[in-house]
Amino acid sequence: MPRFTVDLAEGEGLRIFGPARVRVVSGLSMILGAELGPGEEVYVSSRRSYLLKGVKSSRVEIELMGRGKVEIPADGEEPLDEWVTIADSIIDSCPDGCVVAVMGPTDSGKTSFTALLANRSLLRGLPPAVIDADVGQADIGPPGFVSMSMPDSWVLWLRQLNPDAIRFVGSIEPGPVAGRILSSVASLVSLSKARGAANVFIDTDGWVTGWAALEYKADLARLARAHYVVVLGDHYLYSYLQRVVDAEVAFVRSPQVLAARSVEDRRELRSENYRRFLEGEERVIDLTKVKVQGGCLGMPPYENESIKAAVESQTGYKVKFMSKYPGGICIALDAPGAIDSQVIKSIQKRAGENEVIVVTRGTMKGVVSALTGPDGNDYPALLVDIDLDSLKATFKTKYMGEVKKVYFGRVRIDEEYREEARGRIWV
């Protein structure tokens, strides 16, 4: 692992690709808005890159690990000075505290700018709260959750933070759960202020294409009561939001050079965070004694011997549970896997319903879920199995407190914490 010392003149910069450790020996340096004095150090994670800049003449020790490297940026490639100027002007314009929503397409620098805002707030002695509303590429909490953290030290990557509060939305795609994300963000903004945050910074997902995405982003700014919306790298989104939101809207240039992240890198990052939050002890919860949302098993049982007999005849599996809701019925089968869609259509026609949902014991395993405690917080949990006779569910979770509600999501992962399937009712 190469370790070397670099002297930076005032205003001089060096781009660092992680993994790497940076320690200031003398002078004053800046990285992502954090101003580091003698003896202070930060860790640059793999898949991340930042500009290290001398605020004053500095001597810096850099230790490179793995594929870490350094390079000298070309003129105009790094917008750090612009970022700092805009972030400082936003924070200084809000004597009573700001709510800032950071928006833009995927890989535009949203997470880094959110961290920079937090660092500039910390530099002023103003306690920040960071809300991670990017449910598909969540950093503070697991995918499918909106999370909040109140950092008290420099932030380079939101993944380095621990959540102080979590809200479950159940999907890694924002479109189907936009309402849940919006209510979760509004709830966590209020909670952040109640816990003493001077400024609240919201990192959002990269869904910005199409009318539904634009409306969703505008609604997020409104329901969060944002004072500012910062748009990174997308002039069309900037122009749209300028015309529809009450907040001040600022445009920020994206860096020209970013640490590349492939689709597989993103999957691996999600897998790492599933593992981080879902590895835990097993506990059994009686679903008949708690509130249940997100699954057929949470609804009142429905008895119809004709439909039951037809389903068992067509599938060859025993019906363990049926429930009825306006417009459809849910059927739980003691089957090892999913039921063919043509069979489900036949059942739907026979039952005379607009919708039929069929879940099976085999496809319930590995569903990302949440356990809601008496404090209203949602705690990540992984469904291991369900006894369809007693409706007792086994979860893997770190949470061992009282459970008021079980919330099933729409993502299923395998034993290696990699996404296996998503987008439907599993339980």
Residue 79 confidence class, pLDDT cut points 50, 70, 90 = confident
Least confident residue range of 8-12, 239-243, 326-330: 326-330
Q: Does the pLDDT value for residue 218 go beyond 80?
A: yes
- pLDDT at residue 165, rounded to an integer: 96
Mean pLDDT calculated for residue range 101-110: 93
pLDDT higher for 349 or 271?
271
- pLDDT at residue 382, rounded to an integer: 97
Please give the domain boundaries of the chain with CATH numbers for all domains: 3-71 (2.60.120.1030), 80-274 (3.40.50.300), 279-427 (3.30.300.20)
pLDDT higher for 117 or 4?
117
- pLDDT at residue 258, rounded to an integer: 62
Residue 307 confidence class, pLDDT cut points 50, 70, 90 = confident
* DSSP code string of 126-139: --EEEEE--SSS-S
The residue whose two tokens read 């006894």 is 387
Please choose, from the candidates 159, 162, 49, 146, the residue with its C-alpha nearest in 3D space to the C-alpha of residue 101: 146
Q: Which residues pair with 23 in a beta bridge?
A: 41, 61
**pTM beyond 0.85:** yes
The total of other beta-carbon atoms located within 10 Å of residue 179's CB is 12
Tens digits of residue pLDDT in 251-286: 999 887 665 567 787 888 899 999 999 999 999 999
Tens digits of residue pLDDT in 372-420: 999 989 999 999 999 988 999 999 999 999 999 999 999 999 999 999 9
- pLDDT at residue 206, rounded to an integer: 94
Mean pLDDT calculated for residue range 35-55: 90
Tens digits of residue pLDDT in 150-192: 999 999 989 999 999 999 999 999 999 999 999 999 999 999 9
- pLDDT at residue 260, rounded to an integer: 54
3-state secondary structure of 424: coil
